[in-house]
Amino acid sequence: MAELQDMLSAYVGTVETGAVVGWKALWRRFPGAKITVVRRKVDDVIRSFANLGIASTELEDELRQRDAMLATLSKMPGVTTVEFGDLRRMVVCQRIFERCLGLPFDWEWWESLAEVNVQVDVAAELRYLDANRARIEAFKREALSDERPIITVAQERWSDVRDEIEELFAGHFAEVDGGIEPRRRYKLDHAAMAAIDEAGCLEITAARIDGALVGYCMWMTSQDVESEGLSIAQHGPWYVSEKYAHLRLGLKLFDRSIDRLREVGVSNAFPHHRLEGRGKALGAFYARRGAKEIQHTYSLWLDHA
Dist CA 144 CA 26 (whole Å)? 11
With 80 as the cut, is the pLDDT of residue 76 above it? yes
Would you say 279 and 215 are in contact if contact means Cβ atoms under 8 Å apart?
Answer: no
Pick the closest to residue 264 from 152, 155, 160 (CA basis).
Answer: 155
Distance in angstroms (rounded) separating the CA atoms of residues 158 and 176: 22
pLDDT tens column, 91-144: 999 999 999 888 999 999 999 999 998 888 988 988 998 999 998 888 888 888
| Domain coordinates in residue numbering, the chain | 2-145, 151-288
Q: pLDDT tens-digit profile of 204-218?
A: 999 999 999 999 999
pLDDT the model gives residue 304: 65
**Is the confidence at residue 81, as pLDDT, over 80?**
yes
**What is the pLDDT at residue 246?**
85
Three-state SS string across the chain, please?
CHHHHHHHHCCCCCCCCCHHHHHHHHHHHCCCCCCEEEECCHHHHHHHHHHCCCCCHHHHHHHHHHHHHHHHHHCCCCCEEEEHHHHHCHHHHHHHHHHHHCCCCCHHHHHHHCCCCCCCCHHHHHHHHHHCHHHHHHHHHHHHHCCCCCEEEEEECHHHHCCCCHHHHHHHHHHHCCCCCCCCCCCCCHHHHHHHHHCCCEEEEEEEECCEEEEEEEEEEEECCCCCCCEEEEEEEEEECHHHHHHCHHHHHHHHHHHHHHHCCCCEEECCCCCCCCCCCHHHHHHHCCCCCCCCCCCCCCCCC
- Output the pLDDT for position 254: 96
Assess contact for 238 and 218: CB atoms under 8 A: yes
In tens, the pLDDT along 10-44 reads 887 888 888 898 899 889 888 888 999 999 999 99
Contact 259, 221 (CB under 8 A): no
Note the pTM of the prediction, 2 decimals.
0.84
The class (CATH top level) of 151-288 is alpha beta
In terms of phi and psi (left: phi > 0; alpha: psi -120 to 50; beta: otherwise), the region of 249 is alpha
pLDDT over threshold 90, residue 257: yes
Query: Which range (76-90, 230-244, 269-283) has the least confidence?
Result: 269-283
